[in-house]
Structure 1
Amino acid sequence: MINPNIFRAYDIRGFYPQEINEQVALSVGYALAVFLQKKYQRTNLTLVVGRDGRNSSSELSLAAVKGMLGAGVKVIDVGLVPTPLFYFGVWHYGFDGGIYVTASHNPSQYNGFKLVQKDSRLIAAKTGIDEVRVLSLQSEKKEQDFSSLKWENYTQKEVMADYIHFVLQDYDLPSIKPFSLTVDCGNGAMSVLMPSFLSNIPGSFHTLFCEIDGSFPNHLPDPSQKDNLHQLIQLVQNTKSDLGVAFDGDGDRVGFVDERGEVISSNLVSAFLVKTLARKDDVIVYNLMMSRIVSDTAQMVGARALMTRVGFTFVKEQAIAANAILGAETSGHYCLQNNHFCEAPLFVWLTILEQMCKTGKKASELFAEFQKYQYEGPFSFEVHNKEKILQRLEQKYSNGKVSHLDGLRVDFDDWWFNVRPSNTENFLRCVIEAKDRETLQEKKKEIISIIELNAS
């Protein structure tokens, strides 16, 4: 039986094989095809399938193909590729949607699916994932017959060369200084693209874990957590590299380390991108956990900054609706208007290298101007009365600017905080930022005291 709880606000995810298995993939593939046939009011669709390098992804991908073929659509298989390349395969060639098998940055025991429609627009909470869930459950109950499939409607397609050309076309590569670069693919899907990509970039390269291994034996595939960057930091320092780069399991998140081995936070990367890419009257989108430096920088260049809920689906949807130049999130997701509002980790990397060349600055110097505030989080608290704690915090800080966009955010002139309840667990997650370390520590102590006092 399909567990309905695997259908989340922005994807499908669970343990393999208990929750995500071949039967689930078959039903989801079929349901996606039927959903899009109804949406576009025609049956002759062409859908794309891709996958990451997890040990179960190949079998799940094949099962999803069978489900889609069973609905009577054509299927293009782009194989084992990073998520941004899968998105490119859907929108660049004008296909009708698709399914990508991945559990993103989660540990190896997980797997799941990302679903897209035309133009690689995500199928999420407000765009159809509930309908796909219902269709998947109905398909399982009806026991659809998938024994007589039209395999002539299935083809494989190589898209890597076209994608790399697309990424590189706006950069003057001969003008980029031959830097020393260290790259950590985390044994994830970016491993298959990296040799071809690096062959086009001037410089010398040191690679870490750029071989597919779906068990992720070296570290978790999540570059937003410093614990997963220790080997990258050490190699950057040992090789005196100019920049370190790390990717998550499916290659849509990216993290950076400067020449000193210091992690460059996504707040600083986002502010840098705003300054570099945005112009007067442009729009940028960021989530409410991000530093004020992002909106400050937007104001400096004359752009408009729109704040969204946490979750890259919300960032991307708002970026599309506002035709934003950039969408950014603390997790290391960055979507760009010129990349069809899809995640663009390679564009971000190349933009940093380009600006290092133009300015003559080291990576640490390039980002130093954005280190204006003291920022901490997110840190988590296990509690059993989330709403009560949020009420207590709001009462305590009611003289600030209060927002309920996502949990509770309160802004003051010299500091702000956000506390968000988990939708599925008894946790509160908090970030706090202040103009100086003393204020940050004082307010952090206050907030923790209120949470702990009301935790039980």
Structure 2
Amino acid sequence: MSIYREYDIRGIFEKELNKESVTKIGYALASKISGKYVSVGYDARSHSPILFEYLVAGLNAGGKTVLGMGLVPTPVNYFTNYQEWDGITPSASIMITGSHNPSEYNGFKITVDKAPFFGEDIYALGEECEAMEMPKAVERDVIEIDAKSRYIDFMVDAFQHLKAMPTKIVYDCGNGVAGVVLPKIFERLQLHAKGIYVEPDGTFPNHHPDPSVEKNLVDIKALLEKEGDIAFAYDGDADRIAVLTHKNNIKGDMMALLYSMNMDKPTVVGEVKCSQVMYDELTRRGANAIMYKTGHSNLKVKMKEVNADLACEVSGHVFFKNRYFGYDDAIYATLRMLELLYEGIDLDGELAKLPQVFSTEEIKVETTEEQKFKIIEKVKELLKNPPADFPHIKDMIFVDGVRINFEKGWGLVRASNTTPVLVTRFESTDAQEAKRYEDAVNSLIEMAKKSL
């Protein structure tokens, strides 16, 4: 599979991301950036500082000066786009991160003019790099900036009102980069916080840094049980969050319902995997709820277009434009969740008031890069005239794959933009119906596969 993906560039260190490929990426990116300055940070993987030097060589060869911030979470990298550094405002930022991928992987998340650089732009960049000669080496041109301290100061100032709140907080950095800022923020706000796996270690010795997978939450759940009122867990680059109470593992769509409680008729963008409960409840409250494509880049673009206050993905990407800059930041989301507790909101109590639904986790159906979009098109075709025993269809939404609304719930089938799989999810007010929708849609997928 190509290293040039829908939302970022991602590949295996040395085998795919090496001196030649990364220098070319830096050089090609330089021509897409109008200003002179690009801020670059990296995650905890052992090869991230090496890739930094390769990328700098390419950006410098393309005429850019790099603002280097060293080891930081992805949101700190995004944050630099909204700050002046001795009179300099960067025109772009690049984060070197493998996110939650295995430790041999790395990659680049790119922002140009405060907007994600993704999709067709990344694919075209890939073609350019493959046709390119190795750029000529020039003198290294890097200005060091202390983005980390500026970010910590910003958070401490913005959440002064939480100082010394009595809530007992436990958290798991998963040996990712959340640990380079979070303990200091908690300490300066005099919060009662205890962290595990705080030390950045790109080999991820304790568990894989993906908080959307239940088995990675075993240790933090045990600590919550013994010592905490609330728990937080982070992915490898700290742009995704898990929030745990004694009763709930609060997914991104339910977080959005909680966060929007103290916003006045907000516009909230969700992805196609979000629960219908979220959309219905937001609408009931007078909010403007918009369903859009999955993917952090897609959601950022949509937020800007509709001037949204908040956006979310089920997986724990949460984007605040309300009082913030509109990108996904798990550290900021942590403090906004603590703020709800400070204001006396009972998280479990609020969730208990919502209609009960039975939903599956994301179910992945293996396929190939070549076949995945063809299967989706075939499924859409079959849905025009479904089998006689297929559950009654109320309507369908085609914003990303197809989301089928049934009498008592919905089913989703979409092609993943990053891996050779189809992603399905099902939800109903009735557990048996959810299973029925799952079986019916799966047999349709099988029919579509066989017909190709």
Which structure 2 residues correspond to residues 141-180 of structure 1 after superposition, within 5 A?
141-146=132-137, 148-149=138-139, 151=140, 153-174=141-162, 177-180=165-168
Report the 3-state secondary structure (helix = DSSP H, G, I; strand = E; otherwise coil) of the residue aligned with 2:236: coil
Normalising to structure 2: TM-score of the pair? Answer: 0.89
Residue matched to 1:181: 169
- Residues 276-425 of structure 1 correspond to what in structure 2 (within 5 A)? 276-277=262-263, 279-280=264-265, 282-337=266-321, 338-359=323-344, 361=346, 363-370=347-354, 372-382=356-366, 386-387=375-376, 388-389=378-379, 391-393=381-383, 395=386, 396=390, 399-422=393-416
For the pair 1:81 / 2:72, whether they are aligned, the reply is yes
Indicate conservation of the 8 Å contact 1:390/1:419, yes or no: no
In structure 2, what is the Cα distance between the partners aligned to 1:106 and 1:276? Answer: 35
Is 1:118 aligned to 2:113, yes or no? yes
Task: Give the Å deviation of 1:321.
Answer: 0.9
Residue 441 of structure 1: how far off its partner (Å)? 3.0
Matched, 1:57 2:52: no
Paired amino acid for 2:229: D
CA-atom RMSD, angstroms?
A: 2.3
1:46 partnered with 2:37 = yes
Q: Which amino acid aligns with 2:289?
A: A
- Matched with 1:129 is 122
* Match in the other structure for 2:422: 428
Q: Distance in 1 between matches of 2:296 and 2:431?
A: 29
Shift of 1:400: 2.1
Structure 1 residues 137 and 35 mapped into 2: Cα distance closer, same or farther (>3 Å)?
Answer: farther
Say yes or no: does 1:264 pair with 2:250. yes
* Structure 2 contact 411–441 (Cα < 8 Å) conserved: no
User: Does the aligned pair in 2 maintain the 1:269–1:367 contact within 8 Å?
Assistant: no
Counterpart of 1:50, as a letter, is G
Report the counterpart of residue 3 of structure 2 in structure 1. Answer: 6
* 1:30 equivalenced with 2:27 (yes/no): yes
Letter aligned with residue 274 of structure 1: S
Looking at structure 1, the residues matched to 104 and 144 of structure 2 have their Cα atoms a distance apart, in angstroms, of 27
Q: Distance in 2 between matches of 1:376 and 1:174?
A: 36
**Which letter maps to 2:135?**
Q
- Report the AA paired with residue 35 of structure 1: K
Matched residues in 2 for 1:244 and 1:224: separation?
14
1:273 to 234, 248, 259: 259
Q: Structure 2 vs 1, CA of residues 17 and 369 (structure 1 numbering), >3 Å: closer, same or farther? A: farther
SS of equivalent to 2:200: coil
Against the structure 1 CA distance between its residues 13 and 416, is the aligned structure 2 distance closer, same or farther, given a 3 Å change threshold? same
Unmatched tracts of structure 1, length 5 or more: none
SS at match of 2:188: coil
More displaced stretch, 316-325 vs 13-22? 13-22
Change (3 A) 1:410 1:292: same
Q: For the structure 1 residues 165 and 425, does the alpha-carbon distance in structure 2 shift closer, same or farther, using more than 3 Å as the test?
A: closer
Matching residue's letter, 2:413: V
TM-score in terms of structure 1 length: 0.89
Are 1:208 and 2:205 matched, yes or no?
no
SS of the aligned residue for 1:77 comes to: strand
TM-superposed deviation, 1:178: 1.8
| 1:303 counterpart letter in structure 2 | A
Amino acid in the other structure paired with 1:322: V
Question: 3-state SS of the aligned residue for 1:359?
Answer: coil
Contact kept, 8 Å, 2:156 with 2:189, in 1: the verdict is: no
Given the alignment, which residue of 254, 262, 268 partners 2:241? 254
Where 2:206 maps in the other structure, the secondary structure is coil
- 1:351-408 residue CA offsets vs partner (Å, 9 max, x unmatched): 22222222263x4334333463222121122358734455445524573201222112
Shift of 1:423: 5.1
The aligned residue for residue 242 of structure 1 is 229
- Distance in 2 (CA, whole Å) between partners of 1:234 and 1:366 is 24
Give the whole-Å Cα distance in 2 for the aligned partners of 1:424 and 1:157.
32
Identity, in percent, stands at 27
SS at match of 1:405: coil
Secondary structure at 2:360 match in 1: strand
Look up the SS of the partner of 1:28 in the other structure. Answer: helix
Q: 1:228 aligns with which of 216, 223, 239?
A: 216
Aligned to 2:63: 72
Match for 1:142: what amino acid? E
2:441 pairs, out of 413, 423, 447, with: 447
2:306 is matched by which residue type in structure 1? A
Q: Contact between 1:52 and 1:80, CA under 8 Å: does it hold in 2? A: yes
Contact in 1 for aligned 2:403/2:412 (Cα 8 Å): yes
Count residues with an aligned counterpart.
435
Aligned counterparts of 1:455 and 1:136: Cα–Cα separation in 2: 34
Indicate the larger mover: 195-204 or 80-89: 195-204
